[in-house]
Structure 1
């Protein structure tokens, strides 16, 4: 797949880059994408949810009524889950939601996500740029020039530029990443992918290692 390289003013530079078919031209694997996104979301869960069971509730341990002759079910404690204010039966406990996925499956998931973006013509290649200082206004201007205003955008660099990163932090629907920091969730969540020209040269080597 061949794409034109544009500058930060949104104008074509006359250069073209070839996106490797070994990454962007594969048949996407939906199940691999599902598993990788599921793992990403699971790994971000705190897992600190907790409810009190009957042994942890503060309350009287006195038998609340006699065993027989009341016409209702027997009850031995006000802390029973059947009473209001009692303990929770089978409630959530703190746990770790993380699970393992093989490296090759995660690699396939990322390549599949990139292939979907290529199919949908949602990829832009921009020539390498840097900002002299952290300026949110300049970053917003670049987005507008590339017709990305209002879209969820993921900008990918070969190496992180601190000024660009700081300029993008307060811009809604915008995220900056390095090639090594790409994950399936962020790729699928973005409406448009913007690759810096130098990062394209490393894509095949990075995703087919």
Structure 2
């Protein structure tokens, strides 16, 4: 439910003559470079898988029994078959699996996302469409729609409310065009695109998701 006292602003739909009202709390936020940089670096850092752990002398299994007696065999002394000198043994200076999580609280993340979305809107890079309806997989339809909006050669992101398989398959073979559902929107994908096509239903869901 929308708050009656909430500050609203108007956005024009590009495929109709209608205008819609949206919240200024999401679509009219000042650009905040320091906050956005902090959120993006944290997002990238937390997306890393980390280094694959290696086995040191404490963590490797086996090798508890001395392979042969200390003296009298003519061979070098050996205390374990899991020695770092042996094949299949442990690693002398093993790399341990470390995950250092950089925490960003939810309010900071939402504010950064709203700042990015607002800047896209101010620069006229956020294009709102009433709907993108495809009955069959049709790449030429996506191409003609981009030509109609004069974004044919721009790196374009299409955002829909749910996973639209027909739109995804239709845009897959077009260079620099990607289609995602609104739940997959993140700061990296937004700042790395020139134009964002978003349906009205997805815009409403985005507004509800990032409203502070």
Structure 2 length-normalised TM: 0.68
Q: Equivalents in 2 of 1:49, 1:205: separation in Å?
A: 39
Superposition RMSD on alpha carbons, in Å?
Answer: 3.3
Contact 1:45 1:97 in 2 (8 A): no
Secondary structure of the residue that 1:130 maps to in structure 2? Answer: coil
What's the CA shift for 1:92? Answer: 7.8
Q: Equivalents in 2 of 1:150, 1:180: separation in Å?
A: 26
Q: Equivalents in 1 of 2:45, 2:137: separation in Å?
A: 33
Match of 1:2 among 6, 10, 24: 10
1:27 matched to which residue of 2? 30
Query: 1:171 and 1:94, CA in 2 relative to 1: closer, same or farther beyond 3 A?
Result: farther
What's the CA shift for 1:130? Answer: 2.2
Q: Equivalents in 2 of 1:173, 1:91: separation in Å?
A: 42
How many pairs does the alignment contain?
178
Tell me if 1:148 matches 2:151: yes
2:124 matched to which residue of 1? 121
For residues 99-127 of structure 1, the C-alpha deviation after alignment (integer angstroms, 9 at most, x for no partner) is: 32211111111001111112212121112
1:195 matched to which residue of 2? 198
2:135 matched to which residue of 1? 132
Structure 1 length-normalised TM: 0.69
Q: Equivalents in 2 of 1:195, 1:143: separation in Å?
A: 13
Aligned pairs for 1:1-209 (under 5 A) are 1-7=9-15, 13-48=16-51, 95-96=98-99, 98-208=101-211
Contact 1:3 1:16 in 2 (8 A): yes
Q: Equivalents in 1 of 2:170, 2:98: separation in Å?
A: 37
Give unmatched runs, 5+ long, in structure 1: 8-12, 51-89
Secondary structure of the residue that 2:143 maps to in structure 1? Answer: helix
Contact 1:130 1:161 in 2 (8 A): no
Give unmatched runs, 5+ long, in structure 2: 1-8, 54-92
Query: 1:173 and 1:125, CA in 2 relative to 1: closer, same or farther beyond 3 A?
Result: same
Q: Equivalents in 1 of 2:95, 2:191: separation in Å?
A: 31
